[in-house]
Amino acid sequence: MRNTLLVTGGAGFIGSNFVLQQMLDESWFIINLDKLTYAGNLHNLEGIAADRYQFIHGDIGDRALARQLLEKHQPGAIVHFAAESHVDRSIRGPEDFIRTNVDGTFALLEETRAYWSALLDDRRNRFRFLHVSTDEVYGSLGPQDPPFSEITPYAPNSPYAASKAASDHLVRAYHHTYGLPTLTTNCSNNYGRFQFPEKLIPLMILNARDGKALPVYGDGKNVRDWLYVEDHCEAIATVLRRGRPGETYNIGGWNEKPNIEIVQTICDLVDEKLPQAGRSRRELITFVKDRPGHDRRYAMDARKIERELGWKPKATFETGIRKTVSWYLENEAWVRDVTSGSYRQWVATHYSG
Ligand code: NAD
Ligand code: TYD
């Protein structure tokens, strides 16, 4: 029987990077279940080996579809990326976040439990459900607080973070109550190719390229811990292979930076690659009204995954951000495709006034 991996949300930013990486590194047959919301993009997966990959257009909340996929393809593991993922959108309209992140994860867990319960011994023991989550479930740190560890109490502040926290709790309960062999990863902010340009780094690269204002929320001193997406994907693969069922693993880049510093670095790299005589992109930086409830600082203690599973990030911020800026400047067709229609509408609504 072939070794099948069911990935949800594999047309999004991290999911598509993960699928491409797994196609190179492992012998999986990959089924990618994705609803193709505004954040899903099949162009990310162009050129993938068709004999080892199948795309299914659908919603994780569609239980009949999930049941049919599980019965037909008999996956040995599920990696669950599918989610609504943008904090600002969750503030403007939380409903989709509850529907997909909470109800959708619940539906997927229920169908997975039914499928897994009926597996025979060896396949049942080896099956894994890996839930991809975020550091935002832990809330906000003060300047001197130690970074979040796996035992930091949950204190989600945005509707996005609350919906992810709820899904984490469901996953935990399915292990504790039913013995479902789950793994949960909580990761810090990712950056790299294929990230939808509503998020800080690609938004700033494209605005800097186009000479548009660079909208920094509040005083620009909010701190995030940035991890290059390929390192995150390798961490997920490591946890999938060697993680202990029922455990959670924090993943981070050991790379805390205030937003303003990120934006200045992007300005300098865009200036280097597309110089404008006598002008610096830093002049485009504009401080705008802060995000409501904006978490001040995130930082991850990623020692457990290093100690137990031997994973640590390979990319430095300097190498990762350079590759990322180059990728966005060199992939005009991809950028044009995702920045049409609804993207323009989001930017116009969100940044007006
Ligand atoms: P993304 O928004 O780029 O992609 C999400 C994908 O899920 C899209 O392809 C979308 O079409 C799909 N999707 C949404 N709703 C769906 C549904 N109901 N059914 C099926 N598919 C659906 O997100 P991302 O940045 O790639 O994040 C992936 C996962 O990683 C999320 O669970 C997110 O919470 C988590 N995460 C993200 C980051 C980050 O920095 N981006 C950091 C830590 C954790
Ligand atoms: P974002 O990429 O939305 O990720 P998250 O909110 O999940 O951490 O934002 C990263 C940081 O950048 C966050 O502190 C908010 C800030 N930010 C801005 O200052 N301006 C912007 O236009 C955006 C989108 C984000």
Nearest to 82 by CA among 205, 4, 180, 167: 167
Which atom of ligand 2 is closest in space to residue 350's alpha carbon?
22
| pTM of this prediction exceeds 0.85 | yes
Which atom of ligand 1 is closest in space to residue 191's alpha carbon?
40
- Pocket probe mutation, ligand 1, options 81, 100, 232, max atoms within 8 Å of Cβ: 81
Which atom of ligand 2 is closest in space to residue 87's alpha carbon?
6
From residue 274, give the alpha-carbon distance in Å to each of 200, 205, 279, 326: 20, 11, 11, 10
Q: Say how far apart CA 328 and CA 191 lie, in whole Å.
A: 12
12 lines ligand 1 (CB under 6 A): yes
Q: What are phi and psi of 86, to 5 degrees?
A: -105, 120
Q: What HEC string does 59-91 produce?
A: CCCCHHHHHHHHHHHCCCEEEECCCCCCHHHHH
In the structure encoding, which two tokens stand for residue 261, read together?
């510093």
Report CA(190)–ligand 2 centroid distance (Å): 11
Residue 75 contacts residue 6 (beta carbons within 8 Å): yes
Per-residue pLDDT of the chain (353 residues; tens, 9 = 90+): 689 999 999 999 999 999 999 999 778 999 999 999 999 999 999 989 889 999 999 999 999 999 999 999 999 999 999 999 999 999 999 999 999 999 999 999 999 999 999 999 999 999 999 999 999 999 999 999 999 999 999 999 999 999 999 999 999 999 999 999 999 999 999 999 999 999 999 999 999 999 999 999 999 999 999 999 999 999 999 999 999 999 999 999 999 999 999 999 999 999 999 999 999 999 999 999 999 999 999 999 999 999 999 999 999 999 999 999 999 999 999 999 999 888 998 999 999 86
Which residues are catalytically annotated?
Answer: 135-136, 160
**Could you tell me how far CA 3 lies from the centroid of its own chain?**
25
**Other CB atoms closer than 10 Å to residue 224's CB: what's the count?**
23
298 lines ligand 1 (CB under 6 A): no
Report CA(176)–ligand 2 centroid distance (Å): 35
Q: Say how far apart CA 91 and CA 105 lie, in whole Å.
A: 20
Report CA(199)–ligand 2 centroid distance (Å): 6
Report CA(282)–ligand 1 centroid distance (Å): 31
Which atom of ligand 2 is closest in space to residue 204's alpha carbon?
22
Residue of minimum CA distance from atom 12 in ligand 2: 200
In the structure encoding, which two tokens stand for residue 210, read together?
């186009």
Residue of minimum CA distance from atom 9 in ligand 2: 200
Q: Sign (positive/negative) of CA torsion 15, 16, 18, 23?
A: positive
167 lines ligand 1 (CB under 6 A): no
The letter for the amino acid at 229 is V
**CATH fold of the domain at 3-191+228-253+297-313:** Rossmann fold (3.40.50)
**Could you tell me how far CA 138 lies from the centroid of its own chain?**
16
Widest CA span in the chain = 69
pLDDT of residue 353: 65
Name the pairing type of β-strands 223-228 and 189-191. parallel
